[in-house]
Amino acid sequence: MSAAILRAEHMFKEFGATKAVTDVTIELHKGTVLGLVGENGSGKSTLSSMIAGVYPPTKGAMFFNGQEFKPASVLDARKAGIQYLTQEQGTIDRMTVAENLFLGEEDSFGRFGMVNMRRLIIRAKEILEENGLSHVDPTQPIDNYSFEDRKMIETARALSKQPVVLMIDETTTALSKDGTERIYEIIEQQKKKGTAILIISHDLSEVQCLCDEVMVLRDGVFVDLLCGDEVTPENMRRKMIGREFEGSYYRADFECTFDDEIVLSVRELSLDGVFRDVNFDLHKGEILGIGGLSDCGMHEVLKTTFGAIKPSRGSVILTDGNIEINNTTTSVQRKIAYIPKDRDKESLFLPTSIRDNIVAASLDKIKKGIFISPFAERQIANEEAKKMDVKMQDISQMVRDLSGGNKQKVVLAKWLANDSRIFIMDCPTRGIDVGVKAKIYRLMEDFKRQGISILMVSEEMMELIGMADRILTMKNGQQTGEFLRSASLCEADIIQMII
């Protein structure tokens, strides 16, 4: 193998008492795809962030093209040719698409501090078109676009100038099948062009397909570098958790098991331009899945069912008390939980503590008269954080400082604290490591046994087949079919109904 284009040696990163990365040395080579795997909170994003100039290492040195490399900022690293697609949203709200595309490079579109907006917009249009985003208007605020579009705009930005190093952090799990395939194409093209690529992913079969080598981290420490035939999901899993992975992943039964009792009834639900005439009943103790492509309207069906979007027509009725759900206050009071796909934006208060986030939906429980009991608050937060195995210093830590997967665990903990009876879950295991994923599946089974109902959207067909009692399929905003749980159900059956 050729000499490394980028070498980060003996890297350390500490955040207060947290040792996020300890003495890790990593090398990226031209035209080579290196995978980086490890459990939630094992230091993957921290390591890649240091290379991308997000923050400096506590200790360690980086060499890029044989020269010592100390990026002062993300822009600095970008200018050197290091592009980083972050795990969460990497674009900036309230700025236009064009501004996001050229952040820090406006100078190249003008002279004497005057930016030639016309040239900037023309170039933005070109970049968007080259990346299959011709429906995006560069003059619009970026907030007007979906999570997926924003990720693809971020990707377009990363590729607008040929990168030398491209790092992709847990991106495909946030994307639809189309978006994921586009990323795979990009990886292949970039590899041919000699770009050094780093991929962080919890989808171990994806890692196996894409990567030439895989580095495994555990608790911020280097465990192993796997090459060639050693790169198998089993091997990675074992190295990640330090022991054999035991037990089944999905539900072991193939029965369609739930009560006849209907808990939630959705009738003729329509949102103009997005979905129409959606009808279904959710039963007590049922896991009802909805499958489709990302833009088929299923995410919006969940949001509308929770009362976060006003439908154009139709109704969502909670059978107990015959209550219409048309706002989120009612749904939270009535013990309906919602786990959105974009947790950073819709479900967590990032600048506050883990404790505050966990108790946010359970104020009734922690109130003593008009006062909030700090003791009850701490107790509930500690209990639920422990149930979900949140990797943290303590419950007073800021949520924004948690790793991606651990943020997701806090969202789940919040709704567990609220004793929710209906869980609406949008891609519940996005960005979650294998161990915790299995834990969430066990939790879902547990819910079922307690008579709690789950309405779940997932872009992973295996997850739907593995967990749901019934699966509804959607295409272009309309329901197209229904499948009952069975041992013979396979991915192809469902895919046929959604594309």
Does residue 71 interact with ligand ATP by CB under 6 A? no
Q: Which of 43, 404, 466, 477 binds Mg ion (CB under 5 A)?
A: 404
> x/- contact string, 24-53, with Mg ion (CB under 5 A)?
---------------------x--------
CB 197 within 8 A of CB 211: no
Q: Are 170 and 431 within 8 A, CB to CB?
A: yes
| φ and ψ of 68, to 5 deg | -65, 140
Which residue carries 């240091």 as its tokens?
50
CB of 383 vs ligand ATP, minimal distance in Å: 20
Tell me the CA distances in angstroms from 260 to 62, 251, 257, 325, 379, one per residue in order: 62, 21, 10, 21, 36
Rounding to the nearest 10 degrees, give the CA dihedral for residues 102, 106, 108, 113.
180
Candidate list 172, 176, 304, 403; residue touching ligand ATP; CB under 6 A: 403
Q: Indicate which of ligand ATP, Mg ion, none lies near residue 250 (CB less than 5 to 8 Å, by partner kind).
A: none
Q: Of 22 and 403, which CB lies nearer to Mg ion in the complex structure? A: 403
Near ligand ATP by CB under 6 A: residue from 28, 204, 269, 402: 402
CA dist 30 and 1 (Å) reads 9
Nearest to ligand ATP of 204, 278 (CB atom): 204
Does residue 285 belong to the site contacting ligand ATP (CB under 6 A)? no
Report how far Cα 383 is from the mean position of its chain's Cα atoms: 25
Name the residue whose CB lies closest to Mg ion.
45
20 binds ligand ATP (CB under 6 A): yes
As given in the structure block, the two tokens for residue 367 are: 């109130």
- What the block records as the tokens of 166 is 């491209």
Binder among 83, 87, 96, 420 for ligand ATP (CB under 6 A): 87
Query: Do the beta carbons of residue 336 and residue 421 sit within 8 Å?
Result: yes
- Contact call for residue 41 and ligand ATP (CB under 6 A): yes
* 361-400 residues near ligand ATP, rule: CB under 6 A: 391
Task: Confirm if 270 and 277 have CB atoms less than 8 A apart.
Answer: yes
Q: From the CB of 146, what's the least distance to ligand ATP, in Å?
A: 22
- Nearest residue relative to ligand ATP (C-beta): 405
* Residues forming a β-bridge with 199: 35, 168
Residues near 209 by beta carbon (within 8 Å), at least 6 away in sequence: none
Within residues 427-466, the interface with ligand ATP by CB under 6 A covers 433
Spatial CB neighbours of 144, under 8 Å, sequence gap ≥ 6: none
With CB under 5 A as the contact rule, which of the stretches 62-70, 85-93, 189-197, 273-281 interacts with Mg ion?
A: 85-93
> Which residue from 22, 32, 45, 418 is in contact with ligand ATP, where contact means CB under 6 A?
45
Token duo for residue 84: 């980083």
18 binds ligand ATP (CB under 6 A): yes
Positions that interact with ligand ATP (CB under 6 A): 15, 18, 20, 38, 40-46, 87, 391, 401-406, 433
Positions that interact with Mg ion (CB under 5 A) = 45, 87, 403-404
